[in-house]
Structure 1
Amino acid sequence: MVDVVSTYDICHIGVFKENGESWLANSMFSGQYSCNVPFFHDIDLAIQGWGGDGNDRDEFTDSPPVFADLDNDNLPEIILFSDHELAGEYVNRGNSLWALNPDMTRVAGFETIKNHRSATLYWLRK
């Protein structure tokens, strides 16, 4: 069970256990820990751990996480609303909705990142 999720002004988040250890990333990612996985929209770039300038990626400057069981597995998923940017650029292009498991895999139904040019309220329904 995840105990602490911290967002940063970069394209990574921290997911920690109660003893302070970082949560392990899913083995498909090149980074060992969840905090090593960058938030590129293209899952292949997230898997390799980096992407060139101009690729869609997000930062979590003002995004406290919320938690909900979106996939009915009795475990809470991490839900974040991000600042959408392009790698190598610091222009906020809108916002994106992310739904993640603690190992940084994307929750079914949220594999494709949903972008909006301005802050939007999302209603999540089962």
Structure 2
Amino acid sequence: MLKRETAEPPKWLGTLMDAGPKRALETGLLVIMLMPSDLVVMLTVGSHLEQHDVGVGAALPFIGATVLIAALPLTVYLLFRRRAERVMPRLREWLNSHSWVVNIAACLIFIAIILL
């Protein structure tokens, strides 16, 4: 339980808020390389493709969905730059105060995927 009135992000995270394109790319690549869950998912997809003797083409839906999800924030920002600059801080505040909703939604999505 927090003993503070507000929960502020760490200072290093605050520096990423004003990061330029180069710093954002470096940070993104570092995060991708250091996320063991992402590596496990990629290895699982690769082993599934190998076990079922299918080509790389069978992985295109997975690759497409991954790229779409990963690129969504950047795409929205590039398409709606001025509006996104106004909305994103409010969205971040909402996500910070309602993170439990996001966690429940993510759990429900994974449950649905498992059951299908």
TM range, smaller chain:
under 0.3
Point out the structure with the larger strand share: 1
Which structure has the larger Rg?
Answer: 2
Point out the structure with the larger helix share: 2
Q: Which has the higher contact order (CA 8 A, sep 6+)?
A: 1
Using the size of structure 2 for normalisation, the TM-score is: 0.26
